[in-house]
Amino acid sequence: MSSKTIVVITGANTGIGLEAVKAFLGASNPYHIFMGARSPEKLDAAIQSLGDTGKHTIVPFQLDLFSDDSINEAYAKISAQVDYIDVLINNAGAATNLPPSREVLMQDFNVNVAGTYAVTDIFLPLLIKSSAPRLLFLTSGLSSLEEAGQSTSPRYMIPPAGWPKSKDTPQFLCYRVSKAALNMVMIDFQRILKNDNVKVWCISPGMLATNLGGNPELLKKLGAEDPAVGGIFIKDVVEGARDGDTGKVIQRGKIQPW
């Protein structure tokens, strides 16, 4: 076990999370991966789809970001098996493409901000025991305040005057707001963990054809890439490719504007 990099990744049964696991399984260095998901059945099916893991090892664990009990149980299970973890990847998230409301805002915030914070907070005692700890948060290109404030951005068209603007409501507003808040969570963990030598990032993987975005096939037609590129990006960051960009929101090949 000591020779393997120990990774905890949430939301790993599908999409970018599963692709990250696949990328780790293709790495030359051995990994011990704790794969988390809300549905044990879907997680088991995902693990079965991976086939022979070779020199790498995988351990499933159930995790529901809506539930503190679930988060505590996940920590108890993992801490009973290992004395430390090297990498925590906060990949699990929610994207509700509905008109903004208190209920919808709270739903996305509960997962993307509060739940993610709770997972990070409880797993930190294991993470800071690593000799090379890394903390990753999965954010989005839609979280950029700078781009959202540019009237020339094709993603944020200015609608005609009048109210209501039901047809012109910005898509995924609640998701975008929650991911912008997550970026602030990352900044604060970067600050408070500086003397613990934890490397911290927000990962903005780009427009990928995942179920999180709604319809993967439609997303592909709009130019979305294969989720595998996001998984490889995460693996590369874990293996040191972006160590010079800690404390930033990073995209492939560049830094995302705040």
Q: What is the pLDDT of residues 54-89, one digit of tens each?
A: 999 999 999 999 999 999 999 999 999 999 999 999
Per-residue pLDDT, 163: 83
Number of domains in the chain: 1
Per-residue pLDDT, 167: 56
Asked whether the predicted pLDDT for residue 214 surpasses 70, the reply is no
Q: How confident is the model at residue 206 (pLDDT cuts 50, 70, 90)?
A: confident
CATH number at residue 215: 3.40.50.720
| Residues recognised as catalytic | 140, 175, 179
Q: What is the mean pLDDT of the chain?
A: 91
Q: How confident is the model at residue 37 (pLDDT cuts 50, 70, 90)?
A: very high
User: Whole-prediction pTM value?
Assistant: 0.94
Q: Is 56 helix (H, G, I), strand (E, B) or coil?
A: coil
* Domain extent for 147: 5-255
Asked whether the predicted pLDDT for residue 184 surpasses 80, the reply is yes
Q: How confident is the model at residue 213 (pLDDT cuts 50, 70, 90)?
A: low
Q: What is the pLDDT of residues 95-132, one digit of tens each?
A: 887 788 899 999 999 999 999 999 999 999 999 999 99
Q: What is the pLDDT of residues 227-250, one digit of tens each?
A: 889 999 999 999 999 999 999 999
Structure tokens at 122: 């409880």
Structure tokens at 206: 């780009």
Kindly report the length of the chain.
258
Percent of the chain with pLDDT over 70: 90
Higher-confidence position of 226 and 44? 44
Cα three-residue angle 199-139-145, rounded to 5 degrees: 105
Provide DSSP, the chain.
-TTSEEEEESSTTSHHHHHHHHHHHTSSS-EEEEEEES-HHHHHHHHHHH---TT-EEEEEE--TT-HHHHHHHHHHHHTT-S--SEEEE-------S---HHHHHHHHIIIIIIHHHHHHHHHHHHTTSSS-EEEEE--GGG-HHHHT-TT-TTSPPPPSSS--GGGPPTTHHHHHHHHHHHHHHHHHHHHTGGGT-EEEEE---SB--GGGS-HHHHHHTTPBPTHHHHHHHHHHHTTTTGGGTTSEEETTEEPP-
Q: How confident is the model at residue 172 (pLDDT cuts 50, 70, 90)?
A: confident
Q: How confident is the model at residue 52 (pLDDT cuts 50, 70, 90)?
A: very high
Asked whether the predicted pLDDT for residue 134 surpasses 90, the reply is yes
